[in-house]
Structure 1
Amino acid sequence: MNADGTKPPPPPPPSATADRIDPALRRLTFTLIVGALAVIFDTTIMSVAIDGLAGKLHTSLATTQWVTTGYLLALSATMPAVGWAQSVLGGKRLWIAGLGMFFIGSLLCAAAWNVQSLIAFRVVQGIGGGTMMVLMFTLVMQVAKGRNIGKAMSLITVPTALGPISGPVIGGAILHLGDWRWIFLFNVPFCLVGGYLAWRNLPADGPQPGTRTRLDAVGMLLLSPAIAAVIYGLTQLAGSDGLAGLKVALPLIGGLALLVGYVWWALRRGPDALLDIRLFRHRALASSTALVFLTGAALYGTMLLLPLYWQQVRGESALGAALLLIPTGVGALLSRALAGRYMDRFGSRPVAIAAFVLTFAATVPFGFVTASTSNLALMAVLFVRGVGLGGAMIAIMGAAFVGLEPQEFPAAAGISRVAQQVGASMGVAVLVMILQRASAGAHTPAALASGFGDAFWWSAAFTAAAVPLCLLLPGRPSPQPQVHNPTPAEESTEV
């Protein structure tokens, strides 16, 4: 009873407290999303801009591809060091620094005078973008404190869903209506607004007592070149003699050798390694990493095939092909909240299994694609595929943080993002190589469509391989204890 003799109000039901997203987390997530949209849009816009850039810069397509390759290598090589950089600078300052570097790189790209300068400035962009892509997941998980991981993931993956919807359309419109330099100037408002919001909303922090502040230089010299070499080798796989080609074999062998050397070094160094690979003893992180790799291959490889199919087989323009891709992003955007809610309630495992089965079922029809398949039917299938991919990404990326301590979040985020990047590079390289070989000598739309069908079957295989791995993901989470804070009246009656 209260002091006035009235009955104290009952504590709020668990459903009203445990599942509620902290307003501070929502504010933090919105702030990070605004800045991250610059990186996501830039990546997806470039996916439809390379062919147009080659003509506008009066250079070959092979040379222009380095505008993407250079950015990708810088992005990937930067990711392993983000955890160390955060321990030195703090999350807020590192986010603003990464966003600032991406902003400067965007301005420099817009001012580029030839393809060589554009490639160099894209490297600057890649360093900033790689920092942001790892840090955004770390900051969200640290503020969420491991609670409601599914809902937190559904918030932070908004840019991933918006990018495929808007990026290719924006890129196609810019190349159709304006100067190519606007591809990079388009990033500027997001960088400026995102920087202001970060300065205002991100919690001030700095080096924490007891955290690692000395750079693992040996690990950096082993791991970053290893990732860059492997990704470079994969980018050279298409259009070569296969794995036997020197442009493929040398970087892949060298990268794998450096990777083996890093594993040996990291096991000796333990938690002071650049990325603590001992975290793979957590089954959730290990299985999540494998699934993120496969999903990167299935998602990004198919994202390259689809616009090529509509342009080469159906004669669509870059803008027309981009508009036909919108259902994928819409499906991914709509599935986020539901996937996050069910992940928190039932665990990652059932959500991921259902999502991958749905994705596989929606990829198989593209194996039968022809030169006259209905665009409406394909768009309907793409919507279903987007629903599946959106749910899968939330379940498997959220699973990477289950059971980890907050100080382990930066390493887990770095491992997850690197796996996705390498998987994406492998998926693109393998599917393009298959497409080129399957369509070699094809001179009719029907023959070209058959080659695309073969490549889509491989994409379906990547998805199917993920289903059994989902069984290793965490199941139903343990119920979290509810803490009821007594009112002052209640406290006055305690003895």
Structure 2
Amino acid sequence: MTRGTPEPLTASETTAPPSQTGPATAGPTPAASSDLDPAFLRMAAVLLLALLMALLDETIVNVGLTTLGGQFDSPLATVQWVTAGYLLAVAAATPFAGWAVDRFGGRTMWLTAVLLFVLGSALSGSAWSIQSLIAFRVLQGIGGGMIVPVVQSVLATTAGPSRVAKAMALISLPLTLGPILGPVLGGVLVDTVSWRWMFLINLPIGLVAVLLALRTLPADRYAGRPDKRLDVLGLLLLSPGFAALVYGLTTAAHSGDAASPRVIVSFAGGALLLAGYAVHALRTRVEPLIDLRMFTARGFTMAVVTMFFVGAVANSLLLLTPLYYQQSRGFGALHAGLLLIPSGILGAAGAITSGKTADRVTARLTSTIGMLVTAAGALAFSQIGSGTNTAWLSVALALTGYGIGLTAPGTMAFMYRAVGEARAPRATSALFIVNQIGGALGIAVIAIVLQTRLDGTDGHPAAAYGGSYWVIIAFSVVAALAALLLPGSFRAEAPPQQAGTDESAVPESTPV
């Protein structure tokens, strides 16, 4: 792309040879077969090790907040910034990741992100005050915010259209297991070793991943792309706008009040910044961080909407279910975390199912069924009482995990096919941003609904929790409807030979 007005996404652009528009990492050459070859699997294993590490850290600290408050003699309102600061850093770094992969290459950016994350982990583990810990968690979040979109982009573009569904199934394994295993691992480390090991455990894992990557990941196809100029104004609008929305939603979740001045100011500021980005992105003479013209394709838009509500469902379940077990049933944090494991295991099984059926059925079928299965599992929780059998609830929670696992890989694969290989890095940033906002929205809505239902009651009655699951059911049904609106049939056709030639491809259009 030249430095003039951004050209429309034409079929020729999305089907150019890899040397011109291919992924930033030269991985195993995509074969006509949809099977994942050993070379690709070795590369994926190294990339996903870092992805799992980053995802664990999004939730590993949750069970240690009380311990950190006592250690540093700080109120919970301050200690919560150990988590909030990390998430805001992730939000700020994500928009940068897509451009960075285009500009510097996937291997280079993966190594950079992992090293930043490991450095932030080492500093967090040696923190001497709550303020230093929050600052180091921000550094860690910058690395973590780049790891997820970089890994998704590199694997999707390396796999190619015929194998992208199975590549997304691999990615869904850590995406499903990481947030669930985080609180369990955090509880074990805090109880048996020290709170510092919630962060220091990343050092050996990260260093092993880097050493393996130096041997396993192929070199980037190019040493740099000077033509890929950074959209600086877009970054200054998009990153703070995204972070402001996440902050507003997080604040609403903690306070239970969506009408508080801080929440309103955050929402208003975020909305203005994102509106400013929309105007800028459609007029800039530099390639925007996220090309809004991608949203004119129904396939891309419906895939993103589906993943928005998948994020809302997954994060709502991770907030509400442990709270029910702890506050209504009196279980400890570690016990409540262990009860989430069936959801993670079945989530992985759902992702594997999605990958294995990708040659026969499309995401329009698997994602619709997946979110209906999730709604069915949440429906069982809507009927809970103070003595509901935990084995039965484990089955219901496993159903929700299976449904989410069945949904995510095919939906992400559909999105990549919709935009074509050339736009995969930037599409990944857009998808991750929307998914994160969906997750923050889900947590905020559930927190407010639960607090409203608990107000004026004695203790933590199970009925208040059960009624709150109707929000998750509603999110799941909306996600199923969005998946049903994905273009195409339910039956899979032959692997596409050219990206951007079906009805889901980004149409040619002139930017405003």
Q: Give me the TM-score of the superposition, normalised by structure 1.
A: 0.90
**Offset of residue 165 of structure 1:** 4.8
In 2: Cα distance, 1:104 partner to 1:112 partner: 12
Aligned pairs for 1:338-417 (under 5 A) are 338-417=353-432
Q: Aligned partners of 1:235 and 1:49: how far apart in 2?
A: 18
1:151/1:344 contact within 8 Å kept: no
Larger Rg: 1
The corresponding residue for 1:425 is: 440
Aligned counterpart, 2:504: none
State yes or no: 1:273 paired with 2:288.
yes
Q: CA deviation at 1:144?
A: 0.8
2: distance between equivalents of 1:291 and 1:276? Answer: 19
Counterpart of 2:262? 247
Task: After TM superposition, list the pairs within 5 Å mapping 1:445-484 onto structure 2.
Answer: 445=460, 447=461, 449-474=462-487, 475=489, 476-480=491-495
Distance in structure 2 (CA, Å) of the matches to 1:273 and 1:322:
41
Q: For the Cα contact (< 8 Å) 2:312–2:475, is it kept in 1?
A: yes
Unaligned runs of 5+ in 1: 1-15, 483-495
Greater helix proportion: 1
Contact 1:359 1:463 in 2 (8 A): yes
The residue type equivalent to 2:414 in the other structure is A
1-structure distance, mates of 2:179, 2:87: 18
Q: CA deviation at 1:270?
A: 6.9
Structure 1 position 452, deviation (Å):
1.2
1:173-208 CA-partner distances (Å, limit 9, x unpaired): 112212100100111121011111111111211547
Establish whether residue 83 from structure 1 lines up as the match of residue 98 from structure 2. Answer: yes
- Supply the distance in 1 between the matched residues of 2:47 and 2:400 (Cα, whole angstroms): 27
Q: Which residue of 2 aligns with 1:137?
A: 152
Q: Which amino acid aligns with 1:112?
A: A
Residue 237 of structure 1 aligns to a residue in which SS? helix
CA contact (8 A) 2:161 2:495 kept: no
Structure 1 counterpart of 2:378, which letter? T
1:255-283: CA deviation from partner (whole Å, max 9, x where unpaired): 10111111111111277011111111222
Q: Which position in structure 2 is the counterpart of 1:493?
A: none
Contact 1:149 1:340 in 2 (8 A): no
Deviations 1:143-195 (A, max 9, x none): 11222222111112221233245322211111221210010011112101111
Q: Does 1:300 align with 2:307?
A: no
Provide Cα deviations, 1:312-339, integer angstroms capped at 9, x if missing partner: 1111111111111111001011122211
Contact 1:102 1:127 in 2 (8 A): yes
Q: Residue 329 of structure 1 aligns with which residue?
A: 344
CA distance in 2, matches of 1:331, 1:270: 47
One-letter amino acid of the structure 1 residue matched with residue 124 of structure 2? C
Q: Which amino acid aligns with 1:459?
A: I
Partners in 2 of 1:118 and 1:211 — Cα distance? 37
Structure 1: distance between partners of 2:464 and 2:285? 47
Number of equivalent positions: 465
Q: CA deviation at 1:135?
A: 0.3
Mapped partners of 2:286, 2:435: distance in 1: 23
Q: CA deviation at 1:407?
A: 1.6
| Deviation larger for 265-274 or 388-397 | 265-274
Q: Secondary structure at the match of 2:36?
A: coil
247 and 200 in structure 1: CA distance in 2 versus 1, 3 angstrom threshold: same
- Return the alpha-carbon distance in structure 1 between the equivalents of residues 295 and 285 of structure 2: 12
Q: Is 1:113 the counterpart of 2:128 in the alignment?
A: yes
Give, in whole Å, the separation in 2 of the partners of 1:59 and 1:73.
21
- Pick closer, same or farther for the CA change 1:456–1:351 going to 2, 3 Å: same
Give the match's secondary structure for 1:402.
Answer: helix
**Partner Cα distance (1:88, 1:264) in 2:** 24
Does 1:228 find its partner at 2:243?
A: yes
Q: What is the aligned partner in structure 2 of residue 96 from structure 1?
A: 111
Q: Partner residue of 1:492?
A: none
Once residues 273 and 481 of structure 1 are traced to their aligned partners in structure 2, the CA distance between those partners, rounded to angstroms, is: 27
214 and 382 in structure 1: CA distance in 2 versus 1, 3 angstrom threshold: same
What does the per-residue CA deviation read over 1:96-143, in whole Å, with 9 as the maximum and x for residues that have no partner?
Answer: 010000000000000111111111000001100011110001000111
In 2: Cα distance, 1:226 partner to 1:340 partner:
35
Are the aligned partners of 1:165 and 1:330 in contact in 2 as well (CA < 8 Å)? no
Give distance in 1, aligned partners of 2:190 and 2:142. Answer: 25
Q: Show the counterpart of 2:304.
A: 289
Worse-matched range after superposition: 277-286 or 235-244: 235-244
Q: Deviations over 1:420-475 (max 9, x none)?
A: 11111111111111111211233234x2x122122211111111111211122243
Tell me, yes or no, if the aligned pair for 2:102 and 2:425 is still in contact at 8 Å.
no
Mean Cα displacement is larger for which, 465-474 or 205-214? 205-214
Q: 2-side partners of 1:36 and 1:295: how far apart?
A: 19
CA distance in 2 between partners of 1:187 and 1:56 (Å): 21
For residue 212 of structure 1, report the CA deviation from its aligned partner. Answer: 4.3
Higher mean C-alpha displacement, 467-476 vs 70-79: 467-476
| One-letter code aligned to 1:479 | A
Whole-Å separation in 2 of the counterparts to 1:315 and 1:273: 50
Q: CA deviation at 1:410?
A: 0.4
- Classify the secondary structure of the residue corresponding to 2:469: helix
Q: Which TM-score applies when normalising by structure 2?
A: 0.87
The 2-side partners of 1:413 and 1:239 are apart by: 29
Instruction: Please give the alpha-carbon distance, in whole angstroms, between the structure 1 residues aligned to 2:97 and 2:32.
Output: 33
Q: CA RMSD in A?
A: 1.9
